[in-house]
Structure 1
Amino acid sequence: MELVALQLNAGADWPANRERIAALLAQLPATRPLLVLLPENAVAFGGREAVQRVAEPLGEGPVQDWLAAQAQRLGIWLVAGSLPTRIDGSDKLHTSCLVYDDRGQRVAHYHKLHLFDVDVADGHGRYRESDSFSPGSELCVVDSPFGRLGLSICYDLRFPELYRALREQGAEILMVPAAFTRVTGQAHWLPLLQARAIENQCYVLAADQVGVHAGGRQTWGHSVILDPWGEVCACLPDEEGLVCAPLERERLERVRRDMPVAQHARLRAVWRDNE
């Protein structure tokens, strides 16, 4: 079994992004089963107008049809890191992670829970995802041939309670598609990913955008695969490409057996009032 993170420099135009994704998918290893993760904003990485142009209702539309067709054609499990999906009765969108099995069937979806409304000391400066998007309200863990996949998107990475909840629901591989800014990525990307791997004893598959994008936004890259001990299995620093590593079930089971932190956790202990 092989894990693959696809690192992409996406722009605002879906046809151009589709060609970039297709070219990278053509380089996939021959190993099957194969789990492939696309980064956040793989479909369109730009302003509100660019995102609105490609937004589709969940479960229908040419973008989703193409993604499903790639999963079926290549015989892979494909996790489309995020694309914009429409919300009935709202002019805002969800940022949605979609999971397709090797027959091209969508088997799960997750709407991004935490929206990136922050100020960053870079050329873009002010980020307000809530201007265009609404947060999701449900977590998702899905069965796969690789183990149980816990879904998340980018800014979610800063909220460890989300990943603890995914582990409690049996997650074994944490999926982290992202478009981390260069400034925040350089400071926090790898430490946060390693923390999520170590504290939950999970593989982490993290696919990031890379380079300069529409509007002058810069993303960090450094897509990476981590094992349940927090060790780096493979990493791609600052160019488009694939990050590949084998999934070792024995490694996962040994780490959890030797240090059973899930059984030792006592966070549900009650508070005592001061005397």
Structure 2
Amino acid sequence: MIKVAAVQMCSGVDPAKNAADMSRLVRDAAARGATYVQTPEMTGMLQRDRKAAREVLRGEADDIIVATAHGLAAELGIFLHVGSTAIARDDGKIANRSFLFAPDGRLISTYDKIHMFDVDLDNGESWRESSAYEPGGVSKVVELPFAKLGMSICYDLRFPQLFRAQAVAGATILTVPASFTRQTGEAHWEILLRARAIENGAFLIAAAQAGVHEDGRETYGNSLIIDPWGKILARGGDAGEEVLVADLDLDSVVITRKKVPNLKNAREFVLEDVTVSDADRGAGGVAV
């Protein structure tokens, strides 16, 4: 049994203020007994003005969120998972990067978001994450003392093969820190998260950004902690800060995977593309 927390935030354009907000919320989570705490995607800054964002971006060694999280993990004796923050790379590009710290403050692992959010929504919103960020290419499963933990960020949620690979590699806790738009969140957030938990028989922790941000964007919130059967253990609201705490009975992963052993029962297969010839089509081009 382990107590975990998902920290919901409404990050603004000032990294120093966001670091202070993160510190306050993480302390609250630790005070409530959480030994693993996760913050959302872009904990350090949500800024649509890319020129203004680049002026305050720093490398990993000088980033205020990284430094603050390092100190918090060591001070509070917790595993602290910064869902992500924007990091200036040495090559001049930007990484959307997660950080996982140990209870002694040591950096255990980083993860760069693999899938870029390049979409045009029907409400007029258009996003081109790939125009500013360099995608990662390595999925991460981290062996912690209590479980193997799979790392992902936001839009990765829509690529089930990533989570299946992590589960096959032994992950029993999946993570999806996010900054989902309100439109996509209302349509798909809960459905996709519960599906990833159910199809992999794993716990899933998803700390989210929530509300109307300083840069004008609106995020969906509804941070979730889900068990391997798809049951919601804790849920955040749709706006503003919250700290969600839940107890994870890790034995339930074994029990769930025995009930529905789809990871074990999966088989390799060949995909055959069958083309219907013109001779086999009926009137109007309909196959008969």
Residues 223, 43 of structure 1: CA spacing in aligned structure 2 closer, same or farther, 3 A cutoff?
A: same
Q: Secondary structure at the match of 1:56?
A: coil
Q: Is the 8 A contact 1:32 1:76 kept in 2?
A: no
Give per-residue Cα distances to partners, 1:89-135, cap 9 Å, x unaligned. 2x32110011001111110111000011111244x711111121010
Give per-residue Cα distances to partners, 1:163-199, cap 9 Å, x unaligned. 1111121111111100000110011000000010000
Identity %: 38
Q: Who is 2:128 aligned against? A: 128
Q: Is the 8 A contact 2:98 2:111 kept in 1?
A: yes
Give per-residue Cα distances to partners, 1:180-234, cap 9 Å, x unaligned. 0011001100000001000011100001100001332100000010000111001
How far apart are the structure 1 equivalents of 2:257 and 2:32?
A: 26
Q: Who is 1:225 aligned against? A: 225
Q: Who is 1:27 aligned against? A: 28
How far apart are the structure 2 equivalents of 1:31 and 1:209?
A: 21
Instruction: Report how far residue 54 of structure 1 moved.
Output: 4.2
For 1:68, give the aligned amino acid: H
Max radius of gyration: which structure?
2
Which segments of 5 or more consecutive residues in structure 2 lack a partner in the other structure? 276-288
How far apart are the structure 2 equivalents of 1:273 and 1:178?
A: 36
For 2:36, give the aligned amino acid: L
Q: Secondary structure at the match of 1:109?
A: strand
The root-mean-square deviation of aligned C-alpha atoms, in Å, is: 1.9
Instruction: Report how far residue 62 of structure 1 moved.
Output: 3.7
- Residue 172 (structure 2) pairs with residue 172 (structure 1): yes
Q: Who is 2:191 aligned against? A: 191
Residues 128, 272 of structure 1: CA spacing in aligned structure 2 closer, same or farther, 3 A cutoff?
A: closer
Q: Is the 8 A contact 2:175 2:206 kept in 1?
A: yes
Q: Is the 8 A contact 1:210 1:219 kept in 2?
A: yes
How far apart are the structure 1 equivalents of 2:196 and 2:157?
A: 8
- Residue 87 (structure 2) pairs with residue 85 (structure 1): yes
How far apart are the structure 1 equivalents of 2:58 and 2:138?
A: 20
Q: Is the 8 A contact 2:16 2:64 kept in 1?
A: no
Instruction: Report how far residue 29 of structure 1 moved.
Output: 4.6
Instruction: Report how far residue 52 of structure 1 moved.
Output: 2.3
Tell which deviates more after alignment, 166-175 or 47-56: 47-56
Instruction: Report how far residue 30 of structure 1 moved.
Output: 4.0
- Residue 75 (structure 2) pairs with residue 73 (structure 1): yes
TM-score, structure 2 as length reference: 0.89
Q: Who is 1:154 aligned against? A: 154
Q: Is the 8 A contact 1:117 1:130 kept in 2?
A: yes
Q: Who is 2:280 aligned against? A: none
